[in-house]
Amino acid sequence: MKDILVAGGAGFVGSHLCEILLRQGHRVTCIDNFYTGRYENISHLYAFPYFKFIRHDVLQPLSIVGIDEIYNLACPASPLHYQKDSIYTLKTSVIGTLNLLELARKNHSRFLQASTSEVYGDPQVHPQTEIYWGNVNPNGVRSCYDEGKRCAESLCMDYYRQHGLPVKIIRIFNTYGPNMSFDDGRVVSNFIIQALRRQDITLYGDGSQTRSFQYIDDLIDGMLRMMCTVDSFTGPVNLGNPEECTIKDLAVQVIKLTQSDARIVCRPLPMDDPCRRKPDIGLACRMLEWKPMVSLNEGLLNTIHYFKNILNTKEHEEVD
Ligand code: NAD
Ligand code: UDP
């Protein structure tokens, strides 16, 4: 049994991670300030005797002892949320990561940093390998997130080089699944909710931009494997599904799977929206013996099922 701290554990990815770690028999401390996370994501975890929640903002230093592993997920992740208060986002990525790295140094704990495909910006190399340095606008509307995450990677590597801290950096590509928040504006949740409500499907731009969508279970599997690697392996490692699709094709697929008669309407493309994104997962295959197992079709069906239940509950609450 290990003592594991999950920062940002009440969010979409963190809530799945906490649950699997608890199921494996570990003692899990989840810290979160509910900036984008929700109590409902973690309420069921209180059934596990070794689950503990601490409401805490990672901008403040922490003093906890006896921690074996730290997963740092604390940061708003959807463009809508991370651009709402961009200074806060940047501070969370940089100061938050620094505070957690200090905690790891004092505890001699392993440290996994949730970095992002956004460090590649609007990539000019396709698919993206970890050795590509990226094409990021350093002062655009997305830079609070992109540059914040790049700085956090830099801090992790400095703690590795200066203090010998076993750090692990993963670069997560667009991930979706149950527990995504209803209103976070990401494309998968937006399209599914719009289709289920028979509202217009909001396609930004002409929908020819691409993303590669990974189901949450595959990501969690990759994260757990990464944490177990030898101390000298820091990454960064891409974790994503290499199946690339246009956003227009995603809209069509969601409409089909929900059997909706919603129409697709075009809206302006947000500034600095990356044109193409697809991970090269060769390194993860070799080092983690990992590859995604869940197809887009199967993952979307699970996520549609989740949002149907959420919508039903919301409708009942409104009637009551
Ligand atoms: P999320 O917004 O659902 O979860 C982030 C969690 O961090 C939330 O619970 C939020 O309340 C918490 N948080 C934010 N600021 C905090 C602070 N200052 N102190 C304490 N807690 C704070 O997002 P997610 O999709 O679960 O993403 C988790 C991590 O994975 C993020 O670091 C994100 O950058 C990274 N990531 C996610 C994706 C994706 O597609 N989901 C892709 C790339 C990277
Ligand atoms: N997008 C869209 N309609 C929406 C939400 C997003 O067409 O309602 C597009 C967005 O412009 C981007 C892609 O879908 O090209 C993925 O957007 P998301 O916010 O999910 O993630 P990110 O841009 O960070 O990859």
- Does 317 have pLDDT greater than 80? no
Q: Give the residue, out of 82, 141, 180, 187, with the most ligand 2 atoms within 8 A of its beta carbon, to mutate for a pocket test.
A: 187
> Which CATH superfamily groups domain 3-178+214-241+275-293?
NAD(P)-binding Rossmann-like Domain (3.40.50.720)
172, 189, 190, 277: residue to mutate for ligand 1 pocket, most atoms within 8 A of CB: 172
**What is the per-residue pLDDT for 320?**
63
pLDDT digits (tens, 9 = 90+) for 119-154: 999 999 999 999 999 999 999 999 999 999 999 999
Query: How many whole angstroms from 204 Cα to the centroid of ligand 2?
Result: 7
Distances (CA, A) of 201 to 22, 34, 62, 308: 38, 28, 43, 17
Residues 6+ positions from 198 with CB-CB distance below 8 Å: 260, 261, 262
- Does ligand 2 lie within 6 Å of residue 92's CB atom? no
The per-residue pLDDT for range 214-230, each reduced to its tens digit, is 999 999 999 999 999 99
Q: Whose CA is nearest to atom 13 of ligand 1?
A: 74
pLDDT on residue 246: 98
Residue nearest to atom 25 of ligand 2 (CA): 174
pLDDT category at 2 given cuts 50, 70, 90 is very high
Average pLDDT over residues 17-21: 98
Q: CB under 8 Å to 53, separation ≥6 — which residues?
A: 9, 10, 29, 30, 31, 32, 42, 45, 46
- List the catalytic residue out of 35, 82, 120, 145: 145
For residue 75, how far is its CA from the centre of ligand 1 (angstroms)? 4
**Over residues 293-309, mean pLDDT:** 98
Per-residue pLDDT band at 313 (split at 50, 70, 90): confident
Cβ atoms of 253 and 296 closer than 8 Å: yes
Q: What is the pLDDT of residue 314?
A: 78
> Residue 263 class from Cβ within 10 Å (0-12 exposed, 13-18 middle, 19+ buried)?
exposed
Atom 15, ligand 1: which residue's CA is nearest? 75
13 close to ligand 1 (CB < 6 Angstrom): yes
Residue 54 banded pLDDT, cuts 50, 70, 90: very high
ipTM: 0.99
CA atoms of 305 and 177, how far apart (whole Å)? 10
pLDDT category at 319 given cuts 50, 70, 90 is low
Told to judge if 120 belongs to the known catalytic residues of this protein, a careful annotator would answer no
pLDDT tens-digit series, residues 69-104: 999 999 999 999 999 999 999 999 999 999 999 999
Q: Is there an atom of ligand 1 within 6 Å of 279 CB?
A: no
Please tell me whether residue 169 adopts helix, strand or coil conformation: strand
pLDDT of 163-186, one tens digit each?
A: 999 999 999 999 999 999 989 999
Q: How much is the mean pLDDT over the chain?
A: 97
Helix (H) or strand (E) holding 79: helix 79-84
pLDDT-above-70 percentage for the chain:
99
Q: How many whole angstroms separate alpha carbon 193 and alpha carbon 183?
A: 9
Q: Please answer whether residues 51 and 30 qualify as being in contact, where contact means their C-beta atoms are separated by less than 8 angstroms.
A: yes
Q: Give the type of residue at 57.
A: D
For residues 189-206, give the mean pLDDT.
98
Domain boundaries, the chain: 3-178+214-241+275-293
CB 275 near ligand 2, within 6 Å: no
d(CA 79, CA 270): 10
